Chains A and B, each alone.
Chain A
Amino acid sequence: MLTIRGIEAGYGAIKVLKKLDLDVQKGEIVTLIGANGAGKTTVLRVISGLLAPGKGEITFENERITGLPPHKTLRRGICLVPEGREILSDMTVLENLLMGGFIRRRDEVNSSVKAVFELFPILRERQTQLGKTLSGGEQQMLAIGRALMSKPKLLMMDEPSLGLAPILVNEVFLKIKELRSADVDILLVEQNARKALKIADRGYVLETGQIVLSGSGQDLISNERIRAAYLGGKTG
């Protein structure tokens, strides 16, 4: 339902993405892996509308969304959990969630808050605390919960496991799998390539702004080149 064709984008004179193609089908978890600076975050920024592409076309549910600003792509059903969580630090946990439901009707918002509290019970306990007083893991859960408040059709997550303790990383990946059963498609950017490929239906490997490999999660995990470059060479 998301198709990206021939996207070129960058920052001023710096060209980052070079003729990039990528798809996410209905019901899929797709992961995008690549080294630091490969352009993963830039891909997500272009899709969400934070960065206008120089060339190329993006369509979502057969409609062209190239260059739409973020508040409009969100209304189409594309939501970004940004790199670094970006919690609103002077607002309470509940206010952060309400902001996540900004585009929705008041009565729908209340039931979504309940659903998020069920998914992340810790957030219910913390609901009156300010965002800045949460631990890193709690902030990550809040960032995901806040994104779900908009009822996205496609959820894009930029390194959701970054900076989390191993046990929390597992929990976040479990939640991501749960989301798929909740009918949300997912585009996942991860440093943790092994875990990401394990839960993904398909994966793309990005190197200096170009897709160099793509395939099913299982194929990529057993690919020699990927093992050497992204999976530390060990067997998984």
Chain B
Amino acid sequence: MFLQQLINGLTLGSTYSLLAIGFTLVLGLLQMLNIAHGDVFMIGAFLGLTFSLLGMPLYLALILAMIGAGLLAVIIERLCFRPLRKAHFLMPLLSTIAFGILLQNVATQMWGSEPSRYPQTMEIAQFHLGSVQISSIDIIILVVSLGFMIGIDLFVRKTRFGRAMRATSEKPQTASILGVDVNMVIIVTFFASGALAGIAGVLTALVYLQITPFIGIRQGLIGMVAMVIGGVGSLRGAMIGGLMIGIIEIMNDAYFTASYRDIILFGLFFVFIVFKPEGLFGAKER
């Protein structure tokens, strides 16, 4: 029973991690939050739904939703961040809040505000491992999101472009005199953050089977909570933070009361802010 919940928690949490990573990537580069990030997740889910309704197989819908959400994040960079580089530091925060609301309304116009049913484009198989039951959907979610997490971690740590990303987030001017096209790094980073949110959107929709234009609101906030718990600025922290929240959420629902879920999660947020503001993996200084 406990093992079952643990796996369910990891599955849910891995989608939170994907969101938290996106926040962290942008924050590390620009020291700014993209509040519309949760709504990129929502658009990703609707893109997945639309492509699936067109009869595409899941992998194709996932790839296209990922590209669409990535491009949307690039548009956000162009509209909400780049024109405001020299503006007051709160301006991009405000512009992304506005853009998020815009996205919610556009989605409402396109897909309606009532829950849309997510079409089933594949057979769902159930596997039994002892007392643990795991569905093919869970396996897809775990493999895809853990795969992307490990991939992005390796990419940032080991590759030439990943090094350029780290250099740019620490000292943009220095990165530029070393030959890094800083604007290019910013665009690629936004694309990656949006793509990860898009994947998370489709994967989450596979579980809940119903989506509305407002699913990004809670999801975005949870992604931020995951980032704070993991340690602001730390990629691995964002991953662990997301997994932890998923497990806590599922354990709460299984052993306690589902209606207390967000009281506990957002309560935890404040516990960390007050007692461990650097989070689990964040640096104390900076």
Contact = CB atoms under 8 A, between A and B. Distances in A.
B194 to A, nearest CB: 24
Contacts of A91: 163, 166-167, 170
Interface in A78-93: 79-80, 82, 86, 88-91
Interface string A52-88: 0000000000000000011100110001101000101
Contacts of A103: 179
A91 B170 CA distance: 10
Contacts of A95: 163
Contact of A89 (B160, B170, B181, B182): B170
The bracket for how many chain B residues form the interface is 10 to 19
**Interface of chain A: mostly helix, strand, loop or mixed:** mixed
Contacts of A71: 176-177, 179-182
Contacts of B173: 50, 70, 82, 86
Interface in B118-177: 160, 163-164, 166-167, 170-171, 173-177
Nearest to A73: B177
B171 A86 contact: yes
B178 interface: yes
B25 to A, nearest CB: 16
Given A88-B171, A99-B167, A150 B176 contact: no
A150 B178 contact: yes
Contact of B164 (A69, A102, A106): A102
B174 A90 contact: no
Contacts of B167: 88, 91, 99
A48 interface: yes
B163 A80 contact: no
Given A88-B170, A91-B166, A102 B177 contact: no
Contacts of A82: 173-174, 177
B282 to A, nearest CB: 13
A102 B178 contact: yes
A99 B160 CA distance: 8
Contacts of B175: 99
A95 B163 CA distance: 8
Nearest to A102: B179
B166 A90 contact: yes
A99 B177 contact: no
A106 B158 CA distance: 13
Contacts of B178: 74, 99-100, 102, 146, 150
Contacts of A89: 170
Interface of B: 160, 163-164, 166-167, 170-171, 173-182
11 contacts: A69-B181, A71-B179, A71-B180, A74-B177, A74-B179, A90-B166, A100-B178, A102-B179, A102-B180, A103-B179, A150-B179
Interface of A: 48, 50, 69-71, 74-75, 79-80, 82, 86, 88-91, 95, 98-100, 102-103, 106, 146, 150
Nearest 9 interchain pairs by C-beta? A103-B179, A70-B176, A86-B174, A102-B179, A74-B179, A70-B177, A71-B181, A71-B179, A80-B177
